[in-house]
Amino acid sequence: MVVRIICFLVGVTGILTVRAQDFVLQPDRFRPYITAFNEADEEIYKQLVPNDKAWEFLSQNIPLFECPDKQLEQTYYFRWWTYRKHLKQTPEGYIVTEFLPDVGWAGKYNSINCPAGHHFYEGRWLRDTSFLKQYARFWFRGGASPRSYSSWAADAISAFAQVHPDTAFLANLLPDLTNDFREWEKMRLDSTGLFWQTDDRDGMEVSVSGAYGKKNEGYRATINSYMYGNAKALSHIAKMAGNNAIEQEYNQKAVYIRKQILGKLWDDRAQFFKVIPRGLPALKQADVRELHGFTPWYFSIPEEKHAIAWSQLTDEKGFWAAYGPTSTEQRHAGFRIAYEGHECQWNGPSWPFSTTITLTSLANLLNNYNQKVMTKYDFWKLLITYSRSHQRVREDGKLVPWIDENLNPFTGDWISRTRLSTMENGSWSAKKGGRERGKDYNHSAFGDHIISGLVGIRPQAGNMLVVNPLIPDNTWDYFCLDKVSYHGKNITVLYDKTGTKYGKGSGLRVFVDGVERAFAPSLTKLTLSI
């Protein structure tokens, strides 16, 4: 039997062809999640895929996931349900938005490049590739503002192509991406050899380190790591395109940027990557650890000796809190959780944006480094904490799934929502974005943490598939990630302790187009050619 899934959206090209026997999980098993989300939702802002089309779209496009932790499972489907809300059709093609209502600081079509890297890492698991291909072109050919905020666009677009390889697509974008890099060099690279940014344009306003520098400017691990990631991606894309000169140029740039990060932003005494405030007489690091100091691991920049920094993540005087890691270490005098002043402060609250960076960085640490500071259990604990934060108690007392801007890390209250809901004459402020500005906020990721982190599908160039689950031993008796579109193949990864849950036998098993291709009796790393 061949099932042909035809996308219902006008303008979506191609037919997604799959065989029913390729899959283990039945989509209708998960439809009640979407039904419940729709029923609990106040659909204020509609874009390309409204609620009444949500299940039709999601059942055709997303990998299916099942596990014993039903709250985690619910959050997985909730975040895909919110992601599709942000798909928007414009005269320049499809884009992915950050806010659903129009906000005054956005660019063309309400686009904001700050979370675009998250959009690509998350959306790369959609079956239909046209959304992100058009979104990539929009940033550089659609009149967008690709440098309004710090960005790892080249890296993220390359990461998308590791799931859906397309050399012609990448080669076509190469001139745009190299031009973007050179513009960043003109704007933000100075004689120190480091890129600088304001905390606001890093998407992290009112930060503790930002207050130390002139005009909140600093040499930050964020933008420097992003530019390293972009340089590595450009070198890789140029190699694929057969452009040896560009390949070598950007490989050399990446080597140089890495040297600057390790040599200047690492504080050997504090054992952490820190901000150097700009405009001071000497290059002196700020006296505060901030969560974005984990960003270098997002691109696997540090050496093994730097892993000691991760001890701060699980320290309750460092970043650990009940509802998510704090943006500033709690022992610092500048740490605060404020319900006054700007509604979006990065001096203490937990931000899903940075939790996403941290989870991806931790997955890289566990996959790419030989270290003993962090374990799979630490990844698991952070992911579960992040998942549990996805909730809000409504005015009628009902607990509903929720994602918004910034969290009180000790109570789970969505700080900006609490502030904005009464900011203007006891109601929502129109100039701040209007009613429920942060509802279904698309400034982070979640599905990618399940797929490439927890279950462990590690995208590769070439025809390789690497699966390295980060689920602690003896935690679950079963799980299944199914209907994953990878390199034009349908991938299923399942674990069944007894063999009775899925009827495929016990242990960890990987299927490619319905055919078992790898097996291990326990949760371990598997590498295979597809």
Domain with 353 in it: what CATH number?
1.50.10.10
Output phi, psi for 392, to 5 deg. Answer: -150, 140
Q: What is the pLDDT of residue 17?
A: 55
Q: What is the pLDDT of residue 6?
A: 30
Output phi, psi for 522, to 5 deg. Answer: -140, 175
Provide the pLDDT confidence category of residue 2 given band limits of 50, 70 and 90. very low
Name the residue among 152, 227, 222, 225 with its Cα closest to residue 185. Answer: 227
Name the residue among 276, 355, 275, 282 with its Cα closest to residue 320. Answer: 355
Is 446 part of any domain? Answer: yes
Q: How far apart are CA 110 and CA 101, in angstroms?
A: 8
Which of 388, 421, 454 is where one domain is finished? 454
Q: What average pLDDT does range 274-283 have in this prediction?
A: 92
Is 171 part of any domain? Answer: yes
Q: What is the pLDDT of residue 22?
A: 77
Is 1 part of any domain? Answer: no
Q: What is the pLDDT of residue 9?
A: 38
Residue 189 has which token pair? 């690279």
- pTM across the whole model: 0.96
Amino acid 497 reads K
Whether residues 68 and 115 share a domain: the answer is: yes
Alpha carbon 374 to its chain's center: 20
Q: What is the pLDDT of residue 282?
A: 86
Whether residues 437 and 483 share a domain: the answer is: no
Whether residues 243 and 179 share a domain: the answer is: yes
Is 38 part of any domain? Answer: yes
Q: What is the pLDDT of residue 14?
A: 39
Which of 390, 425, 454 is where one domain is finished? 454
pLDDT tops 80 at residue 16: no
Q: What average pLDDT does range 401-408 have in this prediction?
A: 98
Whether residues 54 and 86 share a domain: the answer is: yes
Q: What is the pLDDT of residue 194?
A: 98
Q: What is the pLDDT of residue 145?
A: 97
Burial of 401 from C-beta contacts in 10 A (0-12 / 13-18 / 19+): buried
Whether residues 350 and 466 share a domain: the answer is: no
Q: From residue 281, how far is each of 192, 214, 278 by CA, in Å?
A: 12, 11, 9
Alpha carbon 153 to its chain's center: 12
pLDDT digits (tens, 9 = 90+) for 199-231: 999 999 999 999 998 899 999 999 999 999 999
The torsion defined by the Cα of 476, 477, 482 and 486, in degrees rounded to 10, comes to: 60
pLDDT tops 50 at residue 273: yes
Share of the chain above pLDDT 70, in %: 96
Name the residue among 287, 475, 269, 461 with its Cα closest to residue 379. Answer: 475
Whether residues 410 and 493 share a domain: the answer is: no
**Is the sign of the CA dihedral 109, 115, 117, 123 positive or negative?**
negative
Which of 398, 419, 454 is where one domain is finished? 454
Q: What is the pLDDT of residue 4?
A: 29
Whether residues 221 and 264 share a domain: the answer is: yes
For 1-10, 420-429, 445-454, which range has the lowest pLDDT when averaged over its residues? 1-10
pLDDT digits (tens, 9 = 90+) for 140-176: 999 999 999 999 999 999 999 999 999 999 999 999 9
pLDDT tops 90 at residue 132: yes
Q: Tokens 């283990």 map to which residue? A: 24
SS3 266: strand
Whether residues 334 and 344 share a domain: the answer is: yes
pLDDT digits (tens, 9 = 90+) for 450-503: 999 999 999 998 899 999 999 999 999 999 999 999 999 999 999 999 999 999
Whether residues 95 and 129 share a domain: the answer is: yes
Q: What is the pLDDT of residue 280?
A: 86
Whether residues 399 and 484 share a domain: the answer is: no
Whether residues 400 and 494 share a domain: the answer is: no
Q: From residue 158, how far is each of 52, 119, 235, 398 by CA, in Å?
A: 33, 13, 11, 42
pLDDT tops 60 at residue 389: yes
Q: How far apart are CA 21 and CA 492, in angstroms?
A: 11
Per DSSP bridges, beta strands 399-400 and 392-393 are antiparallel
Is 244 part of any domain? Answer: yes
Question: Which structural domain, as residue segments, surrounds residue 482?
Answer: 456-530
Q: What is the pLDDT of residue 13?
A: 41
Can you state the percent helix, strand and coil of the chain, rounding each to 5?
40, 15, 45
Is 430 part of any domain? Answer: yes
pLDDT tops 50 at residue 1: no
**Residue 172 CB: number of other CB atoms within 10 A?**
14
- The tally of domains found in the chain comes to 2
Output the furthest CA–CA distance in the chain (Å, rounded). Answer: 71
**Residue 6 CB: number of other CB atoms within 10 A?**
10
Residue 235 has which token pair? 């070198």
Q: How far apart are CA 383 and CA 364, in angstroms?
A: 14
Is 19 part of any domain? Answer: no
Is 4 part of any domain? Answer: no
Amino acid 152 reads W
Whether residues 526 and 381 share a domain: the answer is: no
Phi-psi region of 253 (alpha: psi -120 to 50; beta: other; left: phi over 0): alpha
Q: Tokens 């059942």 map to which residue? A: 59
Q: How far apart are CA 82 and CA 438, in angstroms?
A: 12
pLDDT digits (tens, 9 = 90+) for 104-122: 999 999 999 999 999 999 9
Name the residue among 386, 366, 307 with its Cα closest to residue 523. Answer: 366
* DSSP string covering 373-408: S--HHHHHHHHHHHHHTS-EE-TTS-EE----S-B-
